[in-house]
Amino acid sequence: MNMTGGHFQRFIEQARERRELVVQPRMGFGGLAPMRAGLAAVAGLPCATIGTITLDSYTRVGDYQSALQCLNSDSPLNGFPIISHPLEAVRGMLDGLYGPSFPIQIRHGTAQPQNVFKRLAALGLDATEGGPVSYCMPYSRLPLARAVEAWAESCQLLADATAHGHIESFGGCLLGQLCPPSMLVAMTLLEALFFRQHGIRSVSLSYAQGTSMAQDFGALQALRELAADYLDGAHWHVVVYSYMGVFPTTGHGARRLIYDSARLTQAAGCERLIVKTVAESRQIPSVADNLEALTMAAEVAAGNALVVDPASDGYRQEVLFEARQLVESVLDLHPDIGVALLQAFARGRLDIPYCLHPDNPGRATTRIDDHGALRWGNVGGLPLPQSCGLSSIGPGISSSELFQMLHYTVTRYDQPLH
Amino acid sequence: MKGSQHCLIATVESDSHMWNLVYLQLWLAEHGFNVKNLGSCTPVEVVLATLELRRTQLLVVSSVNGHGHFQGLELIRQVRQQHPDLPCVIGGKLTTSEDQTRAVRQELLAAGFNEVFIGPDAIEDFENYLNTLERTKPALVLGTGTAPCWT
Ligand code: B12
């Protein structure tokens, strides 16, 4: 066993040896006491859990003042303001919780994360999440060039602070829904290569559950094959996200969707799952919501394996082809991956469907096909054959068509049980 | 007034969610508006500057990340200093819980929003509100106005 990593990496490796899925919430509260209580409750679960501190969105955009005002006026925050709380207070919050048996990851959605990384280093934490594209395009209006610079600097900061820094790319999520899997797979690989170019030795690749189990299984197989090729020699593992788009509103719908994400992750041999909760469609989940969802996911993963749909191999081949095509066409542009990413967006070789960020080309679109799989509607300027798209010149999308696609999963899972 | 009415879509500065903005853009264009969508994490100054530059008959603020109440108050106070009569509405998931969002509705209205649209009927209520606005309906609603054409 490789025992050279930090808490985060070692925990994943040990669970992998036991063939146990690691489950992790997306949890963050404004105050120190609720944040500690949430972490402690997750640490106390009998399954293999990693703790999460999700930052609030004032901190994400660098507005530490508003976060402080909310703390002082008892206004609720949508996450933990790690910079607005005094450093010593955050140390105290982590004291006795964080350690080899309970690693903690900071999840933050910050395009310019230097201050967050400095905090992380000062607290002795070793794991975080993001990427120059995936924490810029979906999370800010900052020019991509500035996010690339900021992320290069931040990786270096973490690499200098600890030999064991781990970064998970959020490239497998992007806008959370309606993105063909090949783009998610390509983006997470490119960001992992970017991290490596800037001194990070331990990375995770991400993938968000989509609209078809067969397609998702195929895509995860493709992702693992490509990761083995491109990241040879580095520590890597794959993290799956329970569905990141519009969530079912019924208890049974939400639970079945979380259940499926756990079966998928386990069947595809992936190491970690970020678990959503039944509160997702409505509001910030409570600690109890999180505990229920984590427990269910761990139980499902320990149970009977998913019977793999034979159609998944076609999807595997398709994602392998498209993702490799996207990755190669970006890497061809420049040896510095940050520069290559910028040029790729400028030329339309990368394009995130429906993303409003000013640096996104905005030509590529997505459709859901008759089998429930995510497909390119229009491939725009992507380096893919026109035949990968369903409608290279079609009519514009209407609000009700978009609404239907956004609610495809809700409609399926909220159906009454027979 | 001739031609279609101009509408501005914005969110609050900490909110990066954009599916709500994309959806509202398409929906408002289909309802005959000439729409400008300022995109996610809209700074207050960008909203004010756009209102100066561009004839606008309706400001639509959409936020779902839970900070729409706190930052929406700030936004409307500044907008009202310059534009006391402009129809301004806000909607979405405005705090971090459904109960709280219902509780802050009145405060947002008092601060200057003409309407606050929350909960499952938000879009239907918004449609009814639009019908109460004094509007010259365009003769024909063609396609999606100035919305980019996602084909
Ligand atoms: C997709 C998604 C994301 C994507 C967004 C990608 C992007 N850039 O757009 C990602 C993964 C990046 C993301 C990030 C975050 N998210 Co988010 N996200 C969602 C999710 C799953 C779906 C949202 C969606 O696509 N909706 C589709 C659109 C069409 O629907 P809608 O937004 O609800 O809007 C409808 C109505 O609300 C209404 N409406 C909205 N605005 C207006 C305005 C007017 C005038 C009117 C009339 C109507 C109206 O009409 C719309 C059409 O029906 C929701 C949960 C859910 N709904 O299932 C959480 C959710 C919105 N996110 C949430 C949060 C907190 C965050 C984060 C802060 C991370 C975190 N702590 O969990 C970050 C935010 C970063 C930031 N700076 O803001 C919370 C908000 C909590 C709350 N308000 O109580 C939610 C509810 C999840 C949860 N339960 O915790 N998210």
CATH code, domain with B124:
3.40.50.280
Q: Is pLDDT above 50 for A9?
A: yes
At residue A62's C-alpha, the angle toward residues A342 and A241, to 5°, is: 65
H or E element in which residue A66 lies? helix A64-72
User: For tokens 């106005």, what's the residue?
Assistant: B145
Q: Is pLDDT above 80 for B143?
A: no
Count of domains for chain B: 1
Closest ligand 1 atom to residue B68 Cα is: 83
Torsion of CA A264, A326, A360, A315, to 10 degrees: -30
Q: Is pLDDT above 80 for B137?
A: no
Q: Give the residue-averaged pLDDT of A110-128.
A: 97
Structure ipTM over 0.85, yes or no: yes
Residue B149 within a domain: no
Residue A390: pLDDT band by 50, 70, 90 thresholds? Answer: confident
Q: Which residue of B96, B97, B101, B141 is the best one to mutate when testing the A interface, meaning the one whose CB has the most A CBs within 10 A? A: B96
Residue A3: pLDDT band by 50, 70, 90 thresholds? Answer: very low
Closest ligand 1 atom to residue B22 Cα is: 29
pLDDT reported for residue B146: 45
Q: Give the residue-averaged pLDDT of A265-269.
A: 97
Q: Give the residue-averaged pLDDT of A313-318.
A: 98
Closest CA to A381 of A369, A394, A365, A395: A365
Substitution site in B24, B33, B63, B64 for ligand 1 pocket (most atoms within 8 Å of beta carbon): B64
> How far is CA A381 from each of CA A188, A355, A376, B37, rounded to the nearest angstrom?
20, 15, 12, 24
Map residue A206 onto helix, strand or coil.
strand
Q: Give the residue-averaged pLDDT of B80-107.
A: 97
Residue B146 within a domain: no
Q: Are A389 and A378 in contact (CB under 8 A)?
A: yes
pLDDT reported for residue B147: 45
Left if phi > 0, otherwise alpha if psi is -120 to 50, otherwise beta: which for A308? beta
Count of C-beta atoms within a 10 Å radius of residue A387:
9
Q: Give the residue-averaged pLDDT of A348-352.
A: 98
pLDDT reported for residue B139: 45
Residue B29 within a domain: yes
Q: Give the residue numbers spanning the domain of B86.
A: 6-134
pLDDT reported for residue A276: 98
The tens digit of pLDDT for each residue in A121-142 reads 999 999 999 999 999 999 999 9
Q: Give the residue-averaged pLDDT of A57-73.
A: 97
Question: Following DSSP, what letter does each residue of A235-300 receive, concatenated?
Answer: EEEEEEES--SSPPSSHHHHHHHHHHHHHHHHHTT-SEEE---TTTTTSPPPHHHHHHHHHHHHHH
Substitution site in A82, A284, A403, A407 for ligand 1 pocket (most atoms within 8 Å of beta carbon): A284
Amino acid type, A405: M
- CB B17 less than 6 A from any atom of ligand 1: yes
Q: In the structure encoding, which two tokens stand for residue B127, read together?
A: 């449609």
Contact of B141 with chain A, judged by CB distance below 8 Å, is answered with no
Model confidence, pTM? 0.96
Residue A140, C-beta contacts closer than 8 angstroms, at least 6 positions apart: A60, A61, A111, A147, A357, B16, B40, B41
Amino acid type, A79: G
Cα A312 to Cα A264: distance, rounded to the nearest angstrom: 12
* Phi, psi dihedrals of residue A17, rounded to the nearest 5°: -60, -35
Q: Is pLDDT above 80 for A391?
A: no
CA A282–ligand 1 middle distance (angstroms)? 9
CB-count exposure of residue A418 (10 Å: 0-12, 13-18, 19+): exposed
- What's the sign of the alpha-carbon dihedral A286, A288, A291, A294? negative
Cα A276 to Cα B29: distance, rounded to the nearest angstrom: 34
- CB B128 less than 6 A from any atom of ligand 1: no
pLDDT reported for residue B144: 38
Please report residues of B whose CB lies closer than 8 A to that of A391. 151
Q: Give the residue-averaged pLDDT of A109-127.
A: 97
- CB B142 less than 6 A from any atom of ligand 1: no
The tens digit of pLDDT for each residue in B56-84 reads 999 999 999 999 999 999 999 999 999 99
Q: In the structure encoding, which two tokens stand for residue A298, read together?
A: 């761990």
CATH 3.90.1150.10 fits A7-302, yes or no: no
DSSP state of A389: B
Closest CA of chain B from A300, distance in Å: 29
The tens digit of pLDDT for each residue in A73-84 reads 999 999 999 999
In chain A, domain spans: 7-302
Closest CA to A231 of A269, A268, A182, A196: A196
CB spacing of B40 vs A356 below 8 angstroms: yes
Residue A5: pLDDT band by 50, 70, 90 thresholds? Answer: confident
> How far is CA B98 from each of CA A57, A274, B141, rounded to the nearest angstrom?
19, 24, 36
Residue A305: pLDDT band by 50, 70, 90 thresholds? Answer: confident
